[in-house]
């Protein structure tokens, strides 16, 4: 029989509980399980819709804001000065956008957003949070070891680039304005928006790229 190790148990206890879903999440999961058992719902379809909304549909609003800032420097300046008012110019208001701060990536600065207490997030621009954004491992390490976290997202930040970590709260949400990718000078605003990813607006992705086909489509749009 394996001996009980009190120290090991104390170490594992918070780790285990950090992965326990919230009560609303548990209720939703219970409802989904019941509907699947009764043949009224396909769990694969639910997963597919969640993925589409979190990866594609949800972040498109924020991507449009970024593309406008890339194309209109006056709008960019207003966006950096007062994010909420600037996005309201585009008819974007609502959930978690009342106090919005936009932080800009530059050649010497990279921005990373985290919520160290829970999972505060600009839903009105980015849709639902990715699952990793809610995990304690991301929330703590983004502050202690931002370069290490970014490396896990396959982003190596040079030592001469400063990393600023912004702690999102219920009162203040953040949006990263990524750098406009090289080779996109002739692209339309709509085509530029298609280059912007959700992760680039959180800060876990720094480098956006332009393919030859995208440049061609951008010129013709």
CATH (domain of 203): 3.90.330.10
Q: Is residue 50 part of a domain?
A: no
Q: What is the pLDDT of residue 113?
A: 98
Q: What is the pLDDT of residue 51?
A: 63
Which one of the listed residues 18, 22, 43, 118 is annotated catalytic? 118
Which one of the listed residues 54, 71, 119, 140 is annotated catalytic? 119
pLDDT band at 38 (very low <50, low <70, confident <90, very high): confident
Does residue 115 carry a catalytic annotation? yes
Give the count of domains, the chain: 2
Could you list the residue range(s) of the whole structural domain that residue 19 is in? 6-41
Per residue in 112-163, pLDDT tens?
999 999 889 998 899 888 989 999 999 999 999 999 999 999 999 999 999 9
Look at residue 177 and tell me whether its pLDDT is greater than 70: yes
Does residue 71 carry a catalytic annotation? no
Q: Is residue 47 part of a domain?
A: no
Q: What is the pLDDT of residue 35?
A: 80
Q: Are residues 28 and 133 in the same domain?
A: no
Q: What is the pLDDT of residue 162?
A: 98
Q: Whole-prediction pTM value?
A: 0.74
pLDDT band at 48 (very low <50, low <70, confident <90, very high): low
Q: Are residues 78 and 144 in the same domain?
A: yes
Which one of the listed residues 115, 168, 191, 200 is annotated catalytic? 115
Q: Is residue 49 part of a domain?
A: no
Does residue 120 carry a catalytic annotation? yes
Q: Are residues 33 and 122 in the same domain?
A: no
CA terminus-to-terminus distance, the chain: 70
Q: What is the pLDDT of residue 41?
A: 75
Q: Is residue 185 part of a domain?
A: yes
Q: Is residue 54 part of a domain?
A: no
> Considering the chain, what is the average pLDDT of its residues?
84
Q: Are residues 92 and 22 in the same domain?
A: no
pLDDT band at 20 (very low <50, low <70, confident <90, very high): low
Stretch 6-25: mean pLDDT = 55
Which one of the listed residues 120, 184, 191, 200 is annotated catalytic? 120
Q: Are residues 129 and 25 in the same domain?
A: no
Look at residue 109 and tell me whether its pLDDT is greater than 90: yes
Lowest mean pLDDT among 6-10, 58-62, 89-93, 191-195: 6-10
């Amino acid at each position: 029989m394996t001996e009980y190790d009190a120290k090991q148990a104390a170490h594992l206890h918070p780790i285990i509980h950090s992965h326990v879903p919230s009560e609303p999440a548990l209720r939703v999961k219970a409802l989904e399980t019941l509907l699947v058992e009764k043949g009224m719902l396909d769990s694969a379809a639910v997963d597919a819709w969640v993925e589409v909304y979190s990866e594609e549909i949800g972040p498109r609003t924020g991507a449009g804001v970024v593309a406008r800032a890339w194309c209109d420097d006056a709008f960019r300046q207003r966006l950096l000065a007062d994010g909420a008012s600037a996005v309201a110019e585009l008819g974007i208001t609502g959930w978690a956008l009342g106090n919005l701060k936009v932080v800009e990536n530059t050649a010497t600065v990279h921005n990373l957003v985290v919520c160290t207490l829970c999972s505060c997030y600009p839903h009105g621009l980015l849709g639902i949070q990715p699952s990793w954004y809610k995990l304690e491992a991301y929330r703590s390490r983004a502050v202690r070891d931002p370069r290490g976290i970014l490396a896990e997202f396959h982003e190596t930040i040079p030592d001469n680039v400063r990393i600023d970590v912004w702690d999102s709260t219920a009162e203040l949400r953040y949006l990263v304005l990524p750098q406009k990718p090289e080779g996109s000078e002739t692209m339309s605003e709509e085509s530029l928006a298609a280059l912007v990813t959700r992760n680039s607006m959180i800060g876990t992705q720094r480098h956006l790229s332009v393919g030859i086909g995208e440049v061609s489509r951008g010129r013709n749009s």
